[in-house]
Amino acid sequence: MNVRRAAISTAITAFWLVMMGLLLRDHVLPRRGSSDAIDLTPDQLTEEWRDYEEWMKLTIAGKSDGVSYTSIRRRTDRSGFVACNRIWLDLDVFGGRHTFRLEMAASLDSLFRLDRAAADLRLDDSRMSFVALSNNIRFYYRWEFEGRTQAGAQKLERPISLLEAVRPLVARRFELEVGRAYRLPVLDSTWSLREGTAEVRVEALDRIALGGRSVEAFRLVTQLGSFSSTTWVSAGGEVLRREFPGAIAMERVDPKTARERFEGIDAPAVIPNVSIADFHGADGQTAPPDDNVAPVNRLIELFRQPSEK
């Protein structure tokens, strides 16, 4: 492997661990889940359904670097839903211009419970992928990178949904009132790589600068374990701005402007067809830890494996 490819491979393998390190450093909150939060089930988000699209300009340390696109659509046969999140960047690193593509897609059933999910991270020609399957009792997953593979499984206390699908729909579907909080079980396959109970709390009503003008927006904090992000939404539930640790921010952008910069970013989502048999080492081994291992633990093991390339 040449020096340039080795640098790119190092960057791509480090991405999720660096992100999780920032999350733990900057956003380990002193409180646990709120006792006054309202428990929701995923299917409650589908009442009075309208398909959802979200276009955001992405900045890192104040510099505009890319676009984030999110869509959540009901299948035409009403059998379920498809969620898609893409973060596309062009980066000046390693002495040149490089393309960064993070894509997440998921299939949810008619009750908005997770069925299948996939995440794909690319930096130029280097790629890491993550695929997952839920049968509402167990959550199976597999990592692949540079010819290496790690599979695992986690037991589920109850069926889960997907964080990036739940986040905007809670704001749109339920009343926004300062102090109100909602929680439900999810998988975060984009940022923190964890499964658990997410809480969305309305922290305050702020005035924020948006497109050269000042607007009122509710500040929502989404917490999943030690992961926390902040979203500002309008009274009608429209997402206006998002902030993450590591000086990462997103702000609403015109879809035409985003498409002109990144053609194809809103292409239909592609979700692999997988079954439990595809997750070698995840089933048929009932003894711990194989029966209940978090995805991040398997990711660390993947890094420790020697590359076949």
Identify the pLDDT of residue 117.
Answer: 94
The residue whose two tokens read 């990036």 is: 164
Nearest CA-CA partner of 197 in 166, 151, 241, 173? 166
The greatest distance separating any two alpha carbons of the chain, rounded to the nearest whole angstrom, comes to: 58
Per-residue confidence at 133, pLDDT binned at 50, 70, 90? Answer: very high
Q: Residue 52 has which token pair? A: 């959802």
Per-residue confidence at 15, pLDDT binned at 50, 70, 90? Answer: low
Judged against a pLDDT cut of 60, whether residue 61 lies above it is answered with yes
- How many Å apart are CA 237 and CA 259, to the nearest integer? 23
Per-residue confidence at 284, pLDDT binned at 50, 70, 90? Answer: very low
Nearest CA-CA partner of 194 in 186, 183, 204? 186
For the packed helices 295-304 and 3-27, what is the interaxial angle rounded to 10 degrees? 150
% pLDDT > 70, the chain: 83
What does the mean pLDDT of the chain come to? 83
Report which secondary-structure segment, H or E, holds 10.
helix 3-27
Per-residue confidence at 279, pLDDT binned at 50, 70, 90? Answer: confident
Q: How many CB atoms lie within 10 A of CB 102?
A: 21
What does pTM read for this prediction?
A: 0.85
Sign of CA dihedral 297, 303, 307, 309: positive
Judged against a pLDDT cut of 60, whether residue 11 lies above it is answered with no
C-beta separation of 178 from 192 below 8 A: no
Task: Determine the average pLDDT of the residues in 49-53.
Answer: 95
Reduced to 3 states (helix: H, G, I; strand: E, B; else coil), residue 94 is coil
% pLDDT > 90, the chain: 51
Pairing status of strand 239-244 against strand 38-39: unpaired
Q: How many CB atoms lie within 10 A of CB 96?
A: 9
Identify the pLDDT of residue 205.
Answer: 97
Residue 307 φ/ψ region, left for φ over 0, alpha for ψ in the -120 to 50 degree band, beta for the rest? beta
Identify the pLDDT of residue 281.
Answer: 53
Q: Where are the domains of the chain?
A: 3-304
Judged against a pLDDT cut of 90, whether residue 95 lies above it is answered with no
Q: Which of residues 27 and 131 earns the better pLDDT score?
A: 131
Amino acid at 17: L
User: 134-138, 166-170, 182-186, 209-213: which range is least confident on average?
Assistant: 209-213
Identify the pLDDT of residue 42.
Answer: 95
The residue whose two tokens read 């006054």 is: 36
Q: Residue 191 has which token pair? A: 């940022």
User: 93-97, 117-121, 157-161, 276-280: which range is least confident on average?
Assistant: 93-97
- How many Å apart are CA 128 and CA 173, to the nearest integer? 34
- Could you read off the pLDDT of 285-299 as tens digits, one per residue? 443 335 577 777 777
Q: How many CB atoms lie within 10 A of CB 111?
A: 16
Q: Residue 244 has which token pair? A: 């993450």
> What are the φ/ψ torsions at residue 190 (nearest 5 degrees)?
-105, -45
Identify the pLDDT of residue 58.
Answer: 92
- Could you read off the pLDDT of 219-252 as tens digits, one per residue? 999 998 878 899 999 999 999 999 987 788 999 9
Report the half-sphere exposure of 159 (CA within 13 A, side-chain side).
16
Q: Residue 93 has which token pair? A: 């690193």
Q: How many CB atoms lie within 10 A of CB 209?
A: 10
